[in-house]
Amino acid sequence: MPSTILEETKGQSGLESAVPSDQLRKIVEEEFQKTPIIDMHTHLFMPSLGKLGLWGIDELITYHYLEAELFRFSSVKPDQYWKLSKQQQADLIWRTLFQENTPVSESTRGVIAVLNAFGLNTTAKDLTEARQFFNSQQLEPHISKVFELAGITSVVMTNDPLDPQEAPLWQNNPAPNKQFHAVLRLDRVLNKWADNWQTLANQGYKVSADLSGNTISEVRRFLSEWCDRMRPVYMACSLPDTFMFPEDSARSRLIAEAVLPTGRERNIPLSVMIGVRYQVNPAIKLAGDGVGKTDLRAVEHLCVQFPDNRFLISVLSRENQHELCVYSRKFGNLLPFGCWWFLNNPSIVEEMTRERIEMLGNSFIPQHSDARVLEQVIYKWKNTRRTMTPLFAETYRVLSEDGRPVSRAEIRRDLDQLFRTNFERWVNL
């Protein structure tokens, strides 16, 4: 009996094991359904981090992607909306986006798919039934059920050591959970040093606004202590469209002299997500960020100057995707990932994934869910499978037409690589 997929593939090489062209779609679909996915970037939290973890119908419906859509359809003003209770907000969104309008957008359709997955009425006149259902769930078995429905085995969290709600929870040694991996998220430290250095100083680190004295070594001590506490699989930061590296800024020095040395010392990658135009409309809070095209020479400089660091890179602008593929062909220390945020729509996911396969083979990570509310993983991964299945099948069809058929075992190996082992290897899981 073959013990690995590779051996099985070898054993099955030749025409006998080749999947006929008209079966490719079905076989890809079957294998994709069985692929044990690692969701490598989410905003979910392990149960021991308590109330930070969002789940249930009211959270699903007040997701900021849906709040952005509410303000397009409703006459309610943002400041009126923010005064409502969570349930009132959810009721308003349900009425506006799901009853007075047909829920055809990606985010509204997502809620429908979740309700449907649990056998709940998708045309209900109110949220009573859904609330009763979610209120009657016990969190831990519910998490297992959701992961099973989504086809994922574990998720990667986003953990902010300067979040006033989150940081104290980590100080109490929360129980680790094999299904939730931590990530040391550094937006506050890197993007807003001027607003946050004082918090570090108050915690006893000898740091200053202008990075003088022992600041750099003290930031390294801070990172090191948080790495010990969280055991992150990577460090991460989202960055504006104006991001440049190197440049004359606190962020640039902190990346070069504190974050990347810590990454090398700990052997963990840095994930950079570039292209946000923060708060173009602050009135709608979390929904108020936009997107801008970025100058990817910053990525080039990072990869050239720090060959001993590994980078996970996602860029938010559609216009930057091709360049990112080209850079990925140049640098073995760059792993592109995901169709992030405004890109996570079937039309764009299809275009980006096709481009990545054509330019990079299977050496990338096609998607992460970015889920903020537990049950979102169900619809986000369902959508990913639905969009990507035909294009993987088409890739194999043309390969076969050109003279190289593939076996089921190879298809399984490829999906495993894309959605699991590329990540495991990059972060040394």
- CA-CA distances (angstroms) from residue 111 to 72, 117, 127, 146, 371? 18, 10, 12, 14, 12
Q: Tell me how far apart the alpha carbons of residues 354 and 398 are, in angstroms, rounded to a whole number.
A: 13
Minimum distance of ligand RAT from residue 21's CB (angstroms) = 38
Q: What is the DSSP string of 180-227?
A: EE-EEE-HHHHH-HHHHHHHHHHTT----TT--TTHHHHHHHHHHHHH
Which residue, 139 or 286, has its beta carbon nearer to ligand RAT? 286
What mask, x for binding ligand RAT by CB under 6 A, covers residues 37 to 56? ------x-------------
Which residue, 69 or 370, has its beta carbon nearer to ligand RAT? 370
The residue behind tokens 């002299």 is 257
Mapping DSSP to helix (H, G, I), strand (E, B) and coil, where does residue 235 land? Answer: strand
Q: Enter the DSSP assignment of 118.
A: T
Mapping DSSP to helix (H, G, I), strand (E, B) and coil, where does residue 289 land? Answer: coil
Q: Tell me how far apart the alpha carbons of residues 192 and 21 are, in angstroms, rounded to a whole number.
A: 53
Interface with ligand RAT (CB under 6 A), residue from 35, 108, 154, 238: 238
Q: Tell me how far apart the alpha carbons of residues 298 and 65 are, in angstroms, rounded to a whole number.
A: 29
Residue count of the chain: 429
Contact partner, 67, from ligand RAT, Zn ion, none, Cβ < 5-8 Å per class: none
Minimum distance of ligand RAT from residue 384's CB (angstroms) = 15
Minimum distance of ligand RAT from residue 159's CB (angstroms) = 12
Write out the E strands in 37-133. 37-39
Residues with Cβ < 8 Å from 90, sequence gap 6 or more? Answer: 57, 58, 61, 62, 127
Which residue, 158 or 417, has its beta carbon nearer to ligand RAT? 158
What mask, x for binding ligand RAT by CB under 6 A, covers residues 187 to 226? ----------------------------------------
Interface with ligand RAT (CB under 6 A), residue from 181, 220, 266, 372: 372
Residues 256-275 that bind ligand RAT (CB under 6 A): 273
Minimum distance of ligand RAT from residue 313's CB (angstroms) = 13
Which residue, 323 or 370, has its beta carbon nearer to ligand RAT? 370
Which residue, 238 or 320, has its beta carbon nearer to ligand RAT? 238
Asked if 341 touches ligand RAT (CB under 6 A), the answer is: yes
Interface with ligand RAT (CB under 6 A), residue from 67, 241, 370, 414: 370
Q: Tell me how far apart the alpha carbons of residues 55 and 23 are, in angstroms, rounded to a whole number.
A: 38
Interface with Zn ion (CB under 5 A), residue from 370, 375, 410, 414: 370
Dihedrals φ, ψ of 270, to 5°?
-110, 130
Minimum distance of ligand RAT from residue 43's CB (angstroms) = 6
Contact partner, 372, from Zn ion, ligand RAT, none, Cβ < 5-8 Å per class: ligand RAT
Q: Enter the DSSP assignment of 173.
A: -
Contact partner, 380, from Zn ion, ligand RAT, none, Cβ < 5-8 Å per class: none
Q: Which residues bind Zn ion (CB under 5 A)?
A: 370
Q: Which residues bind ligand RAT (CB under 6 A)?
A: 43, 158, 238, 273, 286, 341, 370, 372
